[in-house]
Structure 1
Amino acid sequence: MANIISPAFSGGDGSWHLKVKVTNLDLDKELRVRGDLHIGGVMLRLVEELGMKRDWSDYALWWPEKNKWLLRTKWTLDQYGAHADSKLEFTPMHKQLRIQLPDLRYVDLMVDVSVKVFRSVAILCKDLGIRHPEELSFLKPLEPEDLRYNFSDDPRRKKLAQEIASNGKTPVVSPDTNAYVREKALLNHSQNGHDRNYERSYSPFGTMNANGTLHNSRFDSSLNHIGGMSNTGWSCPLATTPASLTSDARRNLLRPKSLVEKARINVSWLDSSLSLKEQGIQEYETVWLRCKFYNFYDLNPKYDPVRINQVYEQAKAELFAELVDCTEEEMLMFAALQHQATIKSRDPAAFETDEVDGQTRYDEDEIDQALSELQATLEGSTLTSTPLANSGKDITSVPELGDFLRFAKPKTFGFKSFKKYWATCHDQQIYLYKNREDAGRDPVYHLPLKGCEVAPDVNLSSGKYGIKVEVPSEEGMTEVHFRCDNEEQYAKWMAAIRLASRGKTLADSSYAAEKKSILAFLSMQHPAPAPTTNSSGMNSVVELNPEEYVPQRFLRRAKTGKLVQRILEAHANVKDLSLCEAKMNYIRAWQSLPDHGVTLFVVRFRGPHEKNKDELLGVAPNRLMRMDLNSGHHIKTWRLNTMKSWRVNWETQELHIEFDNETVILFCSSAACKVVHEFIGGYIFLSMRSKDVSQNLNEEMFHKLTCGWV
């Protein structure tokens, strides 16, 4: 019987037929090629055979079976491994996507889906006028169902595996990426071919082209409504967000009900080292753009009106969804700042530029403040108003705080019992003595502060100024409490302990600024003697609906009328702030919360002495925290500056982190290991930023630190 040779392999010169689909024309073509033909030649021959006069510069070859772009035009088909059975696509590299911005607005944009996500976000942020794009990234939209299970235990993954097995096709999902994103994409496309989230979302401002220009007849009419008067030269409509356009979106926010669900919400971050298309993102799909790393560098009102607004709106959304905890007094302060920002956003004068002959005009007070800050930086902060135990020593010695404080070490059972001690803080250590005369002798307690966790325990209405400190010890983290007598004393000691936790002493130039910010934070929480109802003409037209300002758990505690009254009382403290000042104060207050910037993951620690149970890993800009799954109690803290190396075993999905004195091995069950790895590497990358070096993004360094392959 004669051998039957497929037509695809016919040709004595070694040529074969290559099938290429032109996606936008829904046209299939066959080209006779040889393995030594380079990719550029394939595209040129395809365009010639199509015979259509159009701009093909944005088109490239995509290999669906291998889930990769063929972008190296000088490489040959043999080098890429393409053969006669390969089916390629000739498709545009820019696709229209629906992007939900941090302020919860949707915009339709042309996005490059062929470059790595890190680069794609950088291009997008440049078009939108957002500096420091390394702080942001894309997420796959989440649904309430995503919070029910850990990623590794999600039954939908088993269903997907069964569907794939029945189709006889295995998806290309590399172990060193976020499999959730790709698998979710396969689930969404299995029925209707594109993301169903697209139909549920809408774009209140219409579409936005590649240069960031929004076009929609409705947008022009809304421009005056939000205060972005076109005749004043204001060119950034994204620098303010109408409350009416995001109120519905805030109501539909995911609200995790536990620490575990807060951890599961981090499952959908896209892999920064792969392109959007490689992760299954197709045209017309929805992705979220969010601030990923909570290490905001150089937020400058002069250069960052859009960036400040987007960070401010994401902070509002996180507080509204209760992703970050705060006290009732703090929540009233946030509501007051939000109310002030809303009032000012409706005032056209808030958007007028302060320029004379093309140059920015500065007030004398601003110049004096800048000079004072420069002097403090050069000379180091002074503690002249602080009682010093070493006042007679050489001025080159490290400053020391000394004060009477009440101290308690919680017992296993029973209430905390506070006792007054003479406390000194020196060189990242706190020493407690029975009385002042015993200072310098053996202390009753010695608390090393480096690597500690510190949180406020303040209730202004009852005059409570407490500081909760979790101190590293051999058994883990030991919790202790301090009580101060007044705001001034509280600010001094809270600033000192915060600096010590970061490895800094009282001699650091940032001590004065830290203390000042703490006092400012407290001053905004004081209730005013009288509310500001109708104190200005603008106030009378701004309706204060508590449901737009306060999370659900606070709404349930008080009647609407009483809550409005308390918000207006708090607003009296901030009624003189400008729009930008209100937003910046909101952001600073958000950053002062204990839980701010901590990204959670459900993990299991490995090792001979580890218990096989779920725990939490908290990843913050400067540290990693081992935490109790139910209470959130800190079991141990590791500073990133003590980390010597980290690597991933992609087969077992285990992360190995080597510190100065120990090696930590963990498995993440709430997200792919790549997500955890990228957060750690990303924060290390951000810590390397400095005004002394070029601010051009070092993409190669970012990927070395985050991709896991060094």
Structure 2
Amino acid sequence: MIHVGDNSWNLRICITDLALERTMRVRGDQHLGSIMLQLVDPENPKDWSDHALYWPAKNVWLTRTRATLDQCGVQADSLLHFTPMHKVLRVQLPDLRYLDCRVDYSVKTFAAVINLCKQLDIRYPEELSLCKPLEAAHLKQNFAQLPHAKRVPIAEPDGTTYLQPALDTNSFVPINSSFNGGSTGSLDKPSSPGMFFCAPLSPHNASSTHGQWKPSQAGYATYDSSSSSLGDFQENLASSPRSLSAEQRAQLLRPKSLVEKARLNVGWLDSSLSLMEQGIREYETLCLRFKYYTFFDLNPKYDQVRINQLYEQAKWSILNEELDCSEQETLMFAALQFQINHQMDMQPLPAVDSGIETSSQDGDDDIDTALNELQLTLEGSDYHDSTNLTRIPELSDYLRYLKPQRFLLRGYKRYYFCYKDLHLLLYKSAEDSRRTAPVTTINLRGCEVTPDVNLTEGKYAIRLEVSPEDHHGPNSEVWVRCDNEQQYAKWLAACRLAAKGRSLADSSYESEVDGILSLLQMQRPVHGVHVDIDPRTVDAVDYLSPKMLRKLSTKAVQRILEAHANVRDLPLLEAKLKYIQAWQSLPEFGVSLFVIKFDGHRKEELLGVTHNRIMRMELSTGDHIKTWRYNTMKAWNVNWGIKCMMIQFHDENVVFSCHSADCKVVHEFIGGYIFMSMRSKDNNQTLNEELFHKLTGGWS
């Protein structure tokens, strides 16, 4: 007699919560949902709704409960995990504090960041992302190219180990997975408890017994899984610790070259993959950072947490020397930071409208208040391009001009400058501008604008890197020098708008001029002013980078207090916004660097990616060789076989490989910035996750 089998086989499933492995008799046409129901004991009151099947060997979640085992490719030799989708992730905020958060490990990282920012009360979560923590050794070589970072040993509960398959995208793995005290075990036994700290609790919530976050014995904030919101702890996220301990400060990364700055981008996670798919396990540490430097609709009324965290990220980028600053700029940042700390001492929990005259306290009615808020929003945005068609401003004046040439020493020459249709027209005199052709014409569209100011020496210069008219060949460099602050502010604002393709009729021109003058005012040296603050209470280490500390030496504290005289009347939120504004005005702001090698070239170069363009740069000096604007781009994609990226422009194709990070990281930066530029002021606009992944996913 012949017995026909029922096509069933044994499947091993590990229930992680119970540390129990079960063997089930299953068939290939059986649905995942039915298997999960068989795993759950109906008499057990435990809530299993957050659990799903995870396949460690393939490094994928099996979340489609209607799919069958055959459709998923699960066979008899497979081991599945029945595990919670929400797990504890140790998150380092931009202000360097650590929080233990419950994060969904099964959804795409982009969605996980959105949910995390919702808990933290941070609007516009698309501007942020998660990255793996870096160590000093990561700045010494291109870890993205090391073969040992491709496969990672994974241990199973039964003691067996196997190699995790190489990931399709960024496979960078930190040297020490427990970086900064990150533990791979229980939360009760952190490996370095001294490394964690949380925001100081305010008097009214320190004694609260129903808060959602509570400080643990280790000193970091712990999430209460029985709650779904942050509660009173949100108020503490709007203010941060004033200083770090010596141990914490010693672990901060300070890149010493452009190449090391480029290597800072190696750790960004792939937004299109889940945390588990990228090798992140429970209790590991990730850093939450602002990734895209286009900050949409910064509103002091709704964005106290966002403004504070943005200020903290700006502050540490200055103190860690990620951005180069002049002496006057450094003292301005130090003075603003000192004022912020001073205001925090006076009012630990700032009022919602502190320092922003948009409330009804000023006697405005509701309509005036709404109009004032709208004006603040429009002036602070870089996405509006409305123009005033009733009056076209004219700009003309005598300035000095210099075109540097190698092996030839030439000084500035005085010309009569006229601004017209995004071009600078140079004449020998004002009379010549009415009857003769210009001596020189400079096309400002797409140029690179770099200010060069020294208020002590009375130097007001603008460096322009201009693309050739045929858009082939390297950029040419010209210098324009102004005589005073007013002249400098007008021409710098005009050049910046022209570089973006906007005329002087743009509604943001006047606010751009006012912003430049405001920053100059804060940088103006103040000597001999009476200081009513005891210098012995000020530690310059908290306010200056190591390089500037060495330069100013014993005069550091006095110079900080003198610079503070320019900003001592600013309220807390206004001082933070001024700090962010000054940060955005730095020449190197918003440029994410990558070490690349162009196809057909032997030497490495730099690629700079910003919100509206990419730049080919010299590796050692950072000089711009060529600039491509996004509005001239037709397509961009990745060849996963050879790990190269190709960008198609209207007149050429650019092919390069990335050495300091995975090419997917570059692809995601470009697509992400294009996504940011498509946002609108519509209050009903919802975040289009599908469009984001279409632009950044890299899979056509």
TM-score strictly above 0.5: yes
- 8 Å CA contact 2:235, 2:349 repeated in 1: no
- 8 Å CA contact 2:593, 2:609 repeated in 1: yes
Question: Deviations along 1:639-683, whole A, 9 cap, x unmatched?
Answer: 112211111111111111111222111111110011000000000
- 8 Å CA contact 1:62, 1:70 repeated in 2: yes
Aligned AA (2:519)? F
- Residue 572 of structure 2 is aligned to residue 573 of structure 1: no
Aligned to 1:265, the other structure's residue is in SS state helix
- 8 Å CA contact 1:185, 1:281 repeated in 2: no
The CA deviation at 1:503 is: 0.6
User: What is the match of residue 277 of structure 1?
Assistant: 276
Q: Which among 494, 508, 511 is matched to residue 496 of structure 1?
A: 494
Aligned AA (1:554)? M
Q: Which among 425, 436, 444 is matched to residue 439 of structure 2?
A: 444
- 8 Å CA contact 2:150, 2:166 repeated in 1: no
Q: Which among 450, 455, 466 is matched to residue 455 of structure 1?
A: 450
Aligned to 2:265, the other structure's residue is in SS state coil
- Residue 696 of structure 2 is aligned to residue 702 of structure 1: no
Worse-superposed segment, 312-321 or 359-368: 359-368
Q: Which among 83, 93, 101 is matched to residue 85 of structure 2?
A: 93
Q: Which among 423, 426, 436 is matched to residue 429 of structure 1?
A: 423
Q: Which among 587, 591, 602 is matched to residue 598 of structure 1?
A: 591
Whole-angstrom CA distance in 2 between matches of 1:306 and 1:680: 27
- Mapping 1:83-482, distance limit 5 Å: 83-154=75-146, 156-157=148-149, 170-175=163-168, 177-181=169-173, 199-200=191-192, 202-205=195-198, 213-216=212-215, 236-244=235-243, 249-348=248-347, 351-353=350-352, 360-363=359-362, 398-440=392-434, 441-473=436-468, 474-482=472-480
- 8 Å CA contact 1:107, 1:206 repeated in 2: no
Whole-angstrom CA distance in 2 between matches of 1:97 and 1:637: 40
- Residue 60 of structure 2 is aligned to residue 68 of structure 1: yes
Q: 1:576 to 1:219 in 2, by over 3 A?
A: farther
Question: Deviations along 1:415-470, whole A, 9 cap, x unmatched?
Answer: 45101001111111001111111115222211100010011110000100111110
Q: 1:354 to 1:651 in 2, by over 3 A?
A: closer
Question: Deviations along 1:494-541, whole A, 9 cap, x unmatched?
Answer: 00000000011111111111111000010000123544632xxxx569
Q: 1:404 to 1:238 in 2, by over 3 A?
A: same
Whole-angstrom CA distance in 1 between matches of 2:217 and 2:537: 23
Aligned to 2:525, the other structure's residue is in SS state coil
Aligned AA (2:518)? A
Aligned to 1:236, the other structure's residue is in SS state helix
- 8 Å CA contact 1:532, 1:568 repeated in 2: no
Runs of at least 5 residues in structure 2 that lack an aligned partner in the other structure: 202-209, 222-231
Whole-angstrom CA distance in 1 between matches of 2:186 and 2:423: 55
Whole-angstrom CA distance in 2 between matches of 1:665 and 1:362: 58
User: What is the match of residue 692 of structure 1?
Assistant: 682
Whole-angstrom CA distance in 1 between matches of 2:40 and 2:260: 51
Whole-angstrom CA distance in 2 between matches of 1:373 and 1:31: 63
Runs of at least 5 residues in structure 1 that lack an aligned partner in the other structure: 1-9, 223-232, 383-394
Aligned AA (1:299)? L
Aligned to 1:709, the other structure's residue is in SS state coil
- 8 Å CA contact 1:98, 1:198 repeated in 2: no
Q: 1:593 to 1:206 in 2, by over 3 A?
A: closer
Aligned AA (2:398)? F
- Residue 48 of structure 2 is aligned to residue 42 of structure 1: no
User: What is the match of residue 681 of structure 1?
Assistant: 671
Whole-angstrom CA distance in 2 between matches of 1:423 and 1:519: 21
Whole-angstrom CA distance in 2 between matches of 1:503 and 1:541: 48
Structure 1 length as normaliser, TM-score? 0.86
Whole-angstrom CA distance in 1 between matches of 2:385 and 2:35: 65
Whole-angstrom CA distance in 2 between matches of 1:152 and 1:288: 18
Whole-angstrom CA distance in 1 between matches of 2:528 and 2:213: 43
Whole-angstrom CA distance in 1 between matches of 2:218 and 2:238: 14
Whole-angstrom CA distance in 2 between matches of 1:519 and 1:663: 41
The CA deviation at 1:239 is: 0.1
Aligned to 1:667, the other structure's residue is in SS state strand
- 8 Å CA contact 2:167, 2:278 repeated in 1: no
User: What is the match of residue 227 of structure 2?
Assistant: none
Aligned AA (2:481)? R
User: What is the match of residue 6 of structure 1?
Assistant: none
Q: Which among 512, 515, 523 is matched to residue 514 of structure 1?
A: 512
Q: 1:246 to 1:340 in 2, by over 3 A?
A: farther
Whole-angstrom CA distance in 1 between matches of 2:236 and 2:513: 36
Whole-angstrom CA distance in 1 between matches of 2:127 and 2:546: 29
User: What is the match of residue 228 of structure 1?
Assistant: none
- 8 Å CA contact 1:531, 1:571 repeated in 2: no
State the percentage of identical aligned residues: 51
Structure 2 length as normaliser, TM-score? 0.87
Q: 1:482 to 1:290 in 2, by over 3 A?
A: same
The CA deviation at 1:542 is: 9.3
Greater helix content: 1
- 8 Å CA contact 2:178, 2:184 repeated in 1: no
Aligned AA (2:521)? S
- Residue 49 of structure 2 is aligned to residue 57 of structure 1: yes
Worse-superposed segment, 405-414 or 451-460: 405-414
User: What is the match of residue 619 of structure 2?
Assistant: 629
- 8 Å CA contact 1:452, 1:471 repeated in 2: yes
User: What is the match of residue 548 of structure 1?
Assistant: 542
Whole-angstrom CA distance in 1 between matches of 2:501 and 2:250: 41
The CA deviation at 1:251 is: 4.2
Worse-superposed segment, 248-257 or 35-44: 248-257
The CA deviation at 1:362 is: 4.5
Q: 1:204 to 1:186 in 2, by over 3 A?
A: closer
Q: Which among 551, 576, 579 is matched to residue 586 of structure 1?
A: 579
Q: 1:219 to 1:346 in 2, by over 3 A?
A: farther
The CA deviation at 1:692 is: 2.8
Worse-superposed segment, 344-353 or 499-508: 344-353
The CA deviation at 1:306 is: 0.3
Aligned to 1:629, the other structure's residue is in SS state coil
Whole-angstrom CA distance in 2 between matches of 1:695 and 1:347: 38
- 8 Å CA contact 1:343, 1:542 repeated in 2: no
User: What is the match of residue 5 of structure 1?
Assistant: none
Aligned to 2:481, the other structure's residue is in SS state strand
Q: 1:558 to 1:245 in 2, by over 3 A?
A: closer
Whole-angstrom CA distance in 2 between matches of 1:471 and 1:379: 22
Aligned to 1:587, the other structure's residue is in SS state helix
Aligned AA (1:79)? Q
Whole-angstrom CA distance in 1 between matches of 2:424 and 2:59: 57
- 8 Å CA contact 1:603, 1:667 repeated in 2: yes
Q: 1:374 to 1:632 in 2, by over 3 A?
A: closer
The CA deviation at 1:475 is: 2.9
User: What is the match of residue 15 of structure 1?
Assistant: 8
Work out the number of aligned pairs and report it. Answer: 657
